[in-house]
Amino acid sequence: MAADECVGVAKKLVKELRRRGFETIAHGALSDTERDDWAWASAAAARDVVEGRADQAIVCCWTGTGASMAANKVAGVRAALCGDAATAAGARKWNDANVLALSLRTTSGAVLAEILDAWFGAVASVEPDDRANIAHLSKIERGH
């Protein structure tokens, strides 16, 4: 997980993930040893996913937009900026998203819990059309 500031739900996210039994790797402002800017922190968390240190990542910045952009620059990442549970569930199901991006400004504690429930409760679709879209994203990423 990554955040560029310890504001909003940043610290609550750490506590909530641990409460749910997840081991976490902290980046940015959540770490005492790393640069806390959103581009650096989000890219570090995204690399954890593609390099196998984590199954998924959660990246945060004030709007969530920069965090999602930085994460999506890492090959193999499908980051989704989610402001509600339905979007989070859809991102996991239809887009096989592996990085959740959140806004530190607009995500309340209650909405955070709903988003995490939906994110972790959803599984990627096995429907051929959905898998074809994910495969096409990989081709686009490789410049095809």
Catalytic (active-site) positions:
61
- How are strands ordered across the β-sheet holding 79-81? 27-28, 2-3, 57-61, 99-103, 79-81
- Residue 58: name the closest of 35, 19, 28 by CA: 28
Separation between Cα atoms, residue 5 and residue 84, nearest integer Å: 21
- C-alpha torsion sign, points 4, 7, 13, 19: positive
